[in-house]
């Protein structure tokens, strides 16, 4: 690693000594960034269990982390001016305190979560910030502290910020990959926290060992406040802070945009999220390093010129993201690699922002640390605003193509601001303006044409014969698409079909019709997840059901249902009440609500955050909301681990097709009752079966034949539709149950280890 160049008039041995110490600090700062990202991923997951994974909660949690880091930078700036505090013991203290908090963090979050139920959105935001404020303050303080110490020796703030930001962010990017490949799949959340704590302790011990060996005494900042020639600020700090905020806003918005697109293209897998985040962080780190090295030898004019070019190139590459993925979707799984490369390149250009702005506006004197803190805070505040405005507002109003155009235009605007301050000939400025105009024209005119049909292309992986979508809903909660034959997809993966016809069962609609087979009087029913509304329509029209409460996280499904005649009436059914919320959060916030049956036809077990509705802890939460003899009927999407978890958590149960049916009391299988219910079923006034028609009686007889699956003689038969828990437990022996901590198969599935 190249050390910071010293500008003091010491001899060669002195310069070599400080180059060695700079490398030491870089190593410590790299391994400081590693546990910080593990904490962020794990704590966010833990907080999502408390506050939910609806977009409001996700935005709150992410913003709380950013604000904590921003305020921490101010604390670090203040500490950087305190000459009496030795550097290495200060770093050791920060690491020890962070690790100490990490040890108790998950238990603390869980306990505090019990007191945050039912809070308003502002109160929830305050609670989330309060939970993470201590560790994020500590994490955010480190960069300004190190800048304050090293910049006064190097005489170059830009190269110092570039180097430090590089090593720390690179550590965070490496932690993303380690979490996706090793920690989360094999250790789970609690043990991942222990790994992070151990790394905090190792960094702290390393810092103290360096101090005790005598290295720390040579790391005190020089007393001189003379700024080396050629490195005086050329831009006022005020405008630069605004530009830093704008840069944070656009770069974080790009991050959200990339996540949304790759999530859709990969079916919202958790590993894809981690890989994308890693590529973004490594790109930021690489760009920061490159800009820092450039600041060493370049003039301020060249630095400003380089940053303007970087922002224009980032905008140009950002425009190619959707068209590239659309036209290379035929790569299927390899598409993630294409996306990751473009994410890295765009982030690499945006990584030049902080080092370049620091070089242009901050002198290498005793105030360098504090001014860097303000710069970092502005960037963080802009990022937090990007999370709120883009993730919460723009995504709710515009689709992916429009968002891509808006981000390109915003990047061009940032470059134009820099161009106005460039002290270059008018002809050169006109060349920059012409380049910006070409990119802007491509964004507004050409790019939407290049991206035509991008959702279909990503959905069908470039297959030309894939059907066109008849309906598309893009909102802040995700992307919902519907084909002409009524198949519904949520965020790029199958999510149901518009069909309530049991005689033409194309979507396993027999499962909600089976409610009266399992329970003698399911009067009050809760349903988690709405999707096409077909299940809700069937359950609401069950003659034994008096009320149906539906909790759906994405309100976009309501827009689809109201336009589909087969299910639209469920929205006006007096039995039905639909609530927009996270299912788990709603259950925790309504402890007094109890039901005869709870039904959950939720997403695939391997998708991000699916474990929240499949774990032992969630099943225990369900138990507290069931009336005596109540049942829980939920989708396992054929996961043996999920099926075993249901039988392990409840005393009685069985697999019915790919769903689990569990209860604390013996299940009252009654096929004659079921037949009577089916014969009396009506949807929109039309009988589901006409017992006078021979074809209808044949279908009823076929359904009644399912009773044969309960015969003990078929205990080891394959593919039987009903499998009691004793037989299921024998079949799944050796499989681990799903818990909140091990996160089920979200990380193992794509490694073929589920």
Per-residue pLDDT reduced to its tens digit, 87-118: 888 899 999 999 999 999 999 888 887 777 76
- Which residues lie closer than 8 Å to 546 by C-beta, 6 or more apart? 523, 524, 575
Domain boundary among 170, 189, 223: 223
Per-residue pLDDT reduced to its tens digit, 250-307: 999 999 999 999 999 988 777 888 889 999 999 999 999 999 899 888 888 888 889 9
Q: For 294, phi and psi rounded to 5 degrees? A: -65, -40
Q: Give yes or no: residues 81 and 134 share one domain.
A: yes
Q: Give yes or no: residues 441 and 528 share one domain.
A: no
- Which residues lie closer than 8 Å to 389 by C-beta, 6 or more apart? 249, 253
Within a domain: 1:
no
Q: Give yes or no: residues 445 and 531 share one domain.
A: no
Q: Give yes or no: residues 433 and 574 share one domain.
A: no
pTM: 0.90
Q: What is the average per-residue pLDDT within 561-578?
A: 96
Q: Give yes or no: residues 637 and 723 share one domain.
A: yes
Within a domain: 233:
no
Q: Helix, strand, coil shares of the chain as percentages rounded to 5?
A: 65, 10, 25
Burial class (CB in 10 A: 0-12, 13-18, 19+), 536: buried
CATH number at residue 174: 1.20.1250.20
Within a domain: 496:
no
Angle between helices 55-80 and 12-51 (to 10 degrees): 150
Per-residue pLDDT reduced to its tens digit, 182-239: 999 999 999 999 999 999 999 999 999 988 876 555 455 444 444 454 456 777 888 8
d(CA 504, CA 561): 20
Name the DSSP class of 754: -
Within a domain: 383:
no
Tell me the residue ranges of DSSP E strands in 131-185. Answer: none
Give yes or no for residue 85 having a pLDDT over 80: no
Within a domain: 234:
no
pLDDT of the residue at 227: 47
Within a domain: 3:
no
CATH number at residue 515: 3.40.50.150
Q: Give yes or no: residues 577 and 725 share one domain.
A: yes
pLDDT of the residue at 751: 64
- pLDDT band, residue 17 (cuts 50/70/90): low
Domain boundary among 414, 446, 466: 466
Within a domain: 472:
no
Structure tokens at 692: 């006078």
Per-residue pLDDT reduced to its tens digit, 583-630: 999 999 999 999 999 999 888 988 888 999 999 999 999 999 999 999
Name the residue with higher pLDDT: 15 or 482: 482
Q: Of the given ranges (336-350, 431-445, 538-552), which has the lowest mean pLDDT?
A: 431-445
Please give the residue range of the domain that contains residue 81. Answer: 12-223
Share of the chain above pLDDT 90, in %: 58
Q: Give yes or no: residues 110 and 205 share one domain.
A: yes
Q: Give yes or no: residues 160 and 42 share one domain.
A: yes
Angle between helices 270-297 and 300-327 (to 10 degrees): 160
Give yes or no for residue 122 having a pLDDT over 90: no
Q: Give yes or no: residues 177 and 122 share one domain.
A: yes
Per-residue pLDDT reduced to its tens digit, 618-674: 999 999 999 999 999 999 999 999 999 999 999 999 999 999 999 999 998 999 999
Name the DSSP class of 581: S
Q: Give yes or no: residues 177 and 274 share one domain.
A: no
Give yes or no for residue 78 having a pLDDT over 90: no
pLDDT of the residue at 362: 86
Q: Give yes or no: residues 200 and 62 share one domain.
A: yes
Domain boundary among 165, 194, 223: 223
Within a domain: 271:
yes
Name the residue with higher pLDDT: 55 or 579: 579
Q: How many domains does the chain have?
A: 3
Give yes or no for residue 5 having a pLDDT over 80: no
pLDDT of the residue at 12: 67
Give yes or no for residue 244 having a pLDDT over 70: yes
Q: What is the average per-residue pLDDT within 337-360?
A: 94
Q: Give yes or no: residues 172 and 249 share one domain.
A: no
- Which residues lie closer than 8 Å to 6 by C-beta, 6 or more apart? 14, 15, 18, 19, 153, 154, 155
């Amino acid at each position: 690693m190249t050390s910071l160049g010293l500008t003091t008039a010491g001899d060669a041995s002195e310069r070599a000594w400080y180059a060695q110490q700079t490398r030491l600090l870089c190593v410590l700062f790299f391994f400081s960034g590693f546990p910080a990202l593990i904490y962020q991923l794990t704590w966010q997951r833990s907080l999502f269990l408390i506050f939910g994974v609806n977009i409001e909660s996700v935005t709150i949690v992410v913003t709380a982390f950013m604000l904590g880091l921003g305020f921490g930078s101010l604390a670090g700036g203040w500490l950087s001016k305190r000459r009496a505090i030795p550097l290495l013991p200060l770093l050791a203290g920060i690491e020890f305190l962070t690790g100490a908090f990490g040890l108790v963090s998950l238990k603390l979050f869980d306990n505090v979560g019990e007191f945050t139920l039912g809070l308003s959105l502002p109160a929830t935001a305050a609670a989330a910030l309060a939970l993470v404020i201590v560790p994020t303050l500590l994490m955010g303080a480190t960069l300004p502290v190190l800048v304050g110490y090293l910049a006064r020796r190097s005489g170059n703030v830009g190269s110092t910020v570039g180097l430090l930001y590089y090593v720390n962010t690179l550590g965070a990017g490496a932690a993303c990959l380690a979490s996706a490949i090793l920690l989360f799949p094999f250790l789970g959340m609690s043990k991942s926290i222990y790994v992070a704590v151990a790394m905090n302790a190792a960094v702290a011990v390393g810092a103290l060992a360096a101090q005790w060996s005598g290295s720390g005494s040579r790391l005190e900042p020089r007393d001189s406040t003379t700024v080396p020639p050629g490195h005086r600020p050329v831009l006022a700090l005020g405008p630069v802070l605004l530009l830093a905020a704008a840069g944070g806003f656009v770069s974080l918005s790009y991050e959200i945009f990339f996540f949304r697109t790759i999530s859709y293209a990969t079916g919202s897998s958790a590993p894809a999220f981690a890989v994308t985040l890693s590529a973004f962080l490594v790109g930021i780190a690489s760009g920061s390093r490159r800009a820092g090295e450039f600041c060493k030898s370049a003039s301020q004019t060249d630095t400003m010129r380089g940053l303007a070019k970087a922002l224009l190139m980032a905008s140009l590459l950002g425009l190619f993201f959707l068209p590239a993925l659309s036209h290379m979707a035929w790569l299927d799984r390899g598409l993630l690699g294409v996306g990751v490369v473009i994410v890295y390149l765009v982030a690499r250009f945006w990584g030049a922002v902080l080092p370049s702005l620091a070089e242009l506006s901050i002198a290498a004197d005793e105030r360098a640390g504090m001014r860097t803190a303000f710069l970092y805070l502005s960037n963080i505040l802009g990022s937090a605003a990007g999370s709120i405005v883009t993730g919460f507002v723009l995504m709710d109003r515009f689709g992916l193509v429009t968002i891509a155009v808006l981000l390109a235009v915003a990047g061009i605007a940032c470059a134009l601001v820099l161009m106005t301050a460039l002290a270059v000939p008018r002809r050169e400025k006109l060349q920059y303006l012409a380049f910006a105009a070409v990119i802007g024209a491509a964004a507004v005119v050409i790019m939407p044409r290049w991206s035509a049909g991008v959702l279909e292309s990503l959905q069908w992986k470039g297959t030309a014969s894939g059907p066109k979508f008849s309906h598309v809903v893009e909102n802040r909660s995700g992307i919902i698409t519907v084909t002409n034959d009524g198949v519904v997809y949520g965020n790029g993966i199958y999510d149901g079909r518009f069909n309530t016809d049991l005689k033409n069962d194309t979507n396993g609609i027999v499962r909600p019709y089976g409610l009266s087979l399992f329970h003698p009087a399911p009067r009050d029913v809760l349903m988690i997840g709405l999707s096409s509304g077909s299940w809700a329509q069937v359950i609401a029209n069950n003659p034994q059901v008096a009320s149906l409460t539906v909790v759906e996280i994405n309100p976009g499904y309501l827009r689809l249902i109201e336009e589909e005649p087969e299910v639209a009436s469920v929205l006006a059914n007096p039995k039905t009440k639909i609530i927009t919320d996270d299912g788990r959060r709603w259950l925790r916030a309504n402890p007094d609500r109890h039901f005869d049956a709870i039904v959950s036809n939720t997403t695939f077990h391997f998708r991000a955050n699916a474990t929240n509705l499949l774990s032992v802890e969630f099943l225990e939460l369900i138990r507290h909301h069931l009336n005596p003899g109540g049942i829980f009927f939920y989708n396992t999407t054929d996961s043996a681990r999920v099926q075993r978890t249901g039988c392990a958590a409840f005393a009685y149960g069985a697999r019915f097709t790919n769903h689990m049916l569990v209860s604390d009391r013996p299940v009252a299988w009654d096929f004659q009752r079921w037949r009577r219910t089916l014969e009396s079923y009506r949807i929109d006034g039309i009988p589901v079966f006409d017992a006078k028609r021979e074809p209808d009686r044949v279908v009823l007889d076929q359904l009644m034949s399912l009773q044969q699956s309960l015969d003990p003689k078929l205990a080891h038969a394959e593919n039987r539709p009903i499998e009691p828990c004793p037989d299921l437990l024998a079949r799944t022996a050796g499989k681990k149950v799903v818990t909140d901590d091990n996160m089920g198969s979200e990380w193992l599935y794509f490694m073929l280890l589920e």
